[in-house]
Amino acid sequence: MNTSEYKKQIVIENVKKGIETKNWHQLSGIMPVADKYNISKILRLKGWKLLASHYKDTRKYIDAIVAFNKARQIKLIDNEAIQGLFNSLTVIYDEYQNDFSREDLVLLDNQIGRLISFYTIHLPVERSIVDDGIKLLSRIQSHLHSAPSKIETPATHKIEYIFNALYSDMTTTEIQAEFARIMAPYFRERMEKEESGDEEKPKKKKKKKRGSKK
């Protein structure tokens, strides 16, 4: 067994021990390392979900969001992880709804909208699983019309942290789906122009007559 394999085995044993004893301090420290060493998906999924549920039960909702999302990255269709993520996001919205600026809400709208699109179009799941997210997205979009524009609010750093955590952990499948979502309006507009004949045709350059001055 080489050094890398030995270290990986130590990580595996620590994850197993953390799960078995529900040692939250140990699990919170070892799970990012478990991802780095790419140990068994089943073990990592179990560890992140257990840690996420602990954070949620102890009202550490931002940590819960990150942990549920880590679990979701391992298994994109995991009902507990998806519902836990949307539920925790809803709690954060409820807690700071009187503080949000328009800029804060735009960040939330971006990531929650992406997740809803992914789970209703690209990788459809039962409606009941994403219900909390759909309701939350509707509330955020309504709130956007009245929210003031501010450089910083009591919620700004928390929302930026959540946005960065969700954005940076996108899987290849999610990146492809997000690219398609962003480009869809452009392609739709092009098709409509082509169908209506309104698309501008390139102008032909006039040929210069022989003997004409340059």
Is the confidence at residue 126, as pLDDT, over 70? Answer: yes
Per-residue pLDDT at 189: 72
Is the confidence at residue 129, as pLDDT, over 60? Answer: yes
Count each helix (H run) and each strand (E run) in the chain, helices first: 9, 0
Mean pLDDT value across residues 132-149: 96
C-beta separation of 79 from 64 below 8 A:
no
Is the confidence at residue 36, as pLDDT, over 80? Answer: yes
C-beta separation of 132 from 83 below 8 A:
yes
Which percentage of the chain shows pLDDT scores above 70? 90
Which percentage of the chain shows pLDDT scores above 90? 75
C-beta separation of 69 from 165 below 8 A:
yes
Per-residue pLDDT at 201: 54
Is the confidence at residue 46, as pLDDT, over 80? Answer: yes
User: pLDDT for 157-214, tens place per residue?
Assistant: 999 999 999 999 999 999 998 888 888 677 667 777 777 766 555 555 555 555 555 4
Rounded to whole angstroms, the Cα distance separating 131 from 120 reads 11
The domains of the chain are located at: 10-194
- The answer for residues whose C-beta is within 8 angstroms of residue 77's C-beta and 6 or more apart is 123, 125
As a whole number of Å, the CA-based R_g of the chain is 24
pTM, entire model: 0.84
Mean pLDDT value across residues 39-68: 98
Calculate the average pLDDT of the chain.
Answer: 90
